[in-house]
Structure 1
Amino acid sequence: MNIFWFLPTAGDSRYLGTTVGKREVTIEYLQQVAQAVDQLGYDGALLPTGRECEDSWVVASSLIPLTQRMKFLIAIRPGLNSPAIAARMATTFDRISGGRVLLNIVQGGNPVELAGEGLHLSHSDRYKLTNEFLTVWRKLFLEESVNFKGEYLDIRNGKLDHEPNQKPHPPLYLGGTSDSAYEVASEHVDYYLTWGEPVEIVKERIEKVRKLAEEKGRKVKFGIRFHVIVRQTEEEAWKAANELIKYVDDDVIEKTREKFKVFDSNAQNTMTSTSLTNKSSLEIRPGIWAGIGLAREGAGTAFVGNPHQVAENMRKYEEIGIDTFILSGYPHLEEAYNVAELLFPVLNKKK
């Protein structure tokens, strides 16, 4: 079982839906979180992307000399740079870090934000672009010269002059719940990622991607994104969960609802709906809590419980094929220690 943490490049807090307890993004704070990840035995950390986030490539690059073993799962957004430049960036990072870069292929779900970055494509067209992008990106690592003419990309004599540490290229990750996402994942990536939905739904998604990959003669691994609230006792864990959203009132929930009306991401709409339609009973499965999605975008569910309860839930996902868990908690520095000290021993996770 691989366990990753999360670098809060858009800020951190003790509470959701309020400025109370807010921590601004500083490089000093991100260094503390990264060094905790590196020293506590996590396999790596996800760096998010988006207008509210500090740039993931710049932040991750600054942390290379301050860490020794953790891997950096860094976002690439096809359409915002060329596959050749992205391949060169990944190779440089991989060489400098000693083979510690992973690439998260992100489509973006907010058309308004994407338009502000100069990308004016529909949901389905973004996946068509991504398919072309990854076709070229992978070829650059395997072929001496790449020529490609598609609907969106025109590459002539593309070359990559340096080799990465990881062969044939740094691993690729991609999430999404549309048929387009399943097709691209099965064709190109090493890991298909999903958010923390009930295990039976995740199993269906895994089976779809696995079948599509097998039809293409490929194998894909699987990861999942969850928050986690683990304490010595179940009572303490649920108290911490309720404390986290104590400032989330009807106004905050309505702002969340309005924000996501423009999103065209299937995965985000599903995650948001999970929280907003279960306000009266946020524990959607035993020990699976949707409270976080009331006030933030992205992953909205959390494992909640004592170490044995959380481990038991994680193993249910492991049994259906998940081998990588990307976890997070508020605030991220303290919760990185909580998870490592309480949960790792139960999971037999060693430094």
Structure 2
Amino acid sequence: MTPPDIEFIGMIGTQDSSETRPARGPLIDPAYTVRFARAHEDAGFDRILIGYSSGRPDGTQVAAHVAARTERLGLLIAHRPGFIAPTLAARTFATLDQFTEGRVAVHTISGGNDTEQRRDGDYLSKDERYERTGEYLGILRRAWSGTEPFSHSGTHYRFEDYAPAVLPHQESGIPLYFGGSSEAAYRVGGAHADVFALWGEPLAETAEQIAAVRAAAEAAGRAAPPRISVSFRPILGPTQEAAWERAHRILETIESGAGRPFFDQARHHRPGTFADGPQNAGSQRLLAAAARKDLHDRALWTPTATASGAGGNTTALVGTPETVARALLDYVDIGVTTLLIRGYDPLDDAIDYGRHLLPLVRQELAHRASASASAPAPTSAAPLTAGSTR
């Protein structure tokens, strides 16, 4: 992992598709899926996120396919509690973790949209879903932490004498990532998550959410709070002008509807789909930031969130690699430890991030670590430049 323990996560799909163009090829394209994953491994990403919706292929099987054809790349599998028993989920993920020698992590999504949940038969309310998630994650932790049989009788789950014989590869268990931006999400994720995932909001609002997560963790009696992930869609160019020209082309393409099949497959919503707007707090927060102004802080650009209905991590960081690297480091400076980045041209952008963006962030973090280790007082950092070998 990048010093000082900064993690880079990308995202893959099983089909060449995006908000900016119609899908190409079959929904499950095995060769493309492997090429996409290997591009991230070659680019130096630590993990790849494999998404979840009622219209996507099963994530654990996608992860198994990718794991057999990569060497070290971590697998972050999105998972919604409620559709399989937590004991079965514990065995499923632990089995894959053993075969991959510890490369599995689980990204828990309680579900922010009633219509999407009902496609798979879930009719609980949002608050009930978060309550169920808390119970579910507690069971996963226990199933992964020992070999003694145990029973459970809770609000949503009941079983007797479960014997956790299938354990994760490492004694520390399988990392649990958690997404959400509501008070219920802070409460449950603050109590259970190893990493709490947020979408790319302005720095001030992100700092407020980090404080809320840490307060929830403290209220739950945790000794240390979850680490924090933030997600962006970087749009790079060799110059500032080129980057902004590309950003506006991407925006125009999203607004044209060329990528509508992507939204339908992923069950994202576009403006007007719901009379009252998106139900989930994360999308509401992105749209609120976009309503205030287009450009925030150093490089955060929000019109792409508005154009896509904020149906996911849809805010962009626009600029040269140096500008975007500095913007990412701004978030590191307020406590972010994981950077989830994916492009609007998914495969090509992953390659470009590995060539031009990740090295700059890594070099600056290594420089900071070296300076901190060698000097008792803070030192001024030299300017970030492409190709720097600091």
Q: What is the TM-score when the length of structure 1 is the normalising length?
A: 0.91
Q: Say which of 236, 250, 259 aligns to 2:273.
A: 259
- Distance in 2, Cα, partners of 1:240 & 1:227: 13
- With over 3 angstroms needed to count, the CA separation of the structure-2 counterparts of 1:10 and 1:225, relative to structure 1, is farther
- Distance in 2, Cα, partners of 1:240 & 1:101: 35
- With over 3 angstroms needed to count, the CA separation of the structure-2 counterparts of 1:218 and 1:259, relative to structure 1, is farther
The Cα offsets for residues 318-339 of structure 1, whole Å up to 9 and x where unpaired, read as: 0111011010002211101111
Identify the range of structure 1 (143-152 vs 21-30) with the bigger mean alpha-carbon deviation.
21-30
Q: Say which of 215, 222, 227 aligns to 1:217.
A: 222
Task: Read off the aligned partner of 1:333 and give its amino acid letter.
Answer: L
- Distance in 2, Cα, partners of 1:270 & 1:317: 17
The question of 1:53 aligning with 2:56 is answered yes
Identify the range of structure 1 (257-266 vs 203-212) with the bigger mean alpha-carbon deviation.
257-266
The question of 1:342 aligning with 2:356 is answered yes
The question of 1:65 aligning with 2:68 is answered yes
- With over 3 angstroms needed to count, the CA separation of the structure-2 counterparts of 1:50 and 1:230, relative to structure 1, is same
Q: What is the TM-score when the length of structure 2 is the normalising length?
A: 0.82
Partner of 1:289: 301
1:10 and 1:53 in contact (8 A); partners too: no
Partner of 1:8: 13
Task: Read off the aligned partner of 1:6 and give its amino acid letter.
Answer: M
Partner of 2:36: 33
- Distance in 2, Cα, partners of 1:157 & 1:11: 45
For the aligned residues, what is the CA RMSD?
Answer: 2.2
Partner of 1:310: 324
2:79 and 2:108 in contact (8 A); partners too: yes
Partner of 2:186: 182
Q: Equivalent pairs: percent with the same residue?
A: 27
- Distance in 1, Cα, partners of 2:277 & 2:235: 30
- Matched position secondary structure for 2:60: helix
The question of 1:327 aligning with 2:341 is answered yes
- Matched position secondary structure for 2:53: coil
Q: Which runs of 5+ in 2 are unaligned?
A: 1-5, 264-268, 367-390
- Distance in 2, Cα, partners of 1:65 & 1:266: 37
Q: Which runs of 5+ in 1 are unaligned?
A: none
Task: Read off the aligned partner of 2:280 and give its amino acid letter.
Answer: S
- Matched position secondary structure for 1:259: coil
Tell me the number of residue pairs that the alignment of Structure 1 and Structure 2 aligns.
343
- Distance in 2, Cα, partners of 1:39 & 1:108: 32
Question: 1:348: how far off?
Answer: 2.6
Question: 1:22: how far off?
Answer: 5.2
- Distance in 1, Cα, partners of 2:58 & 2:166: 24
Task: Read off the aligned partner of 1:217 and give its amino acid letter.
Answer: R
Question: 1:239: how far off?
Answer: 1.2
Identify the range of structure 1 (146-155 vs 125-134) with the bigger mean alpha-carbon deviation.
146-155
Q: Say which of 196, 199, 205 aligns to 2:203.
A: 199
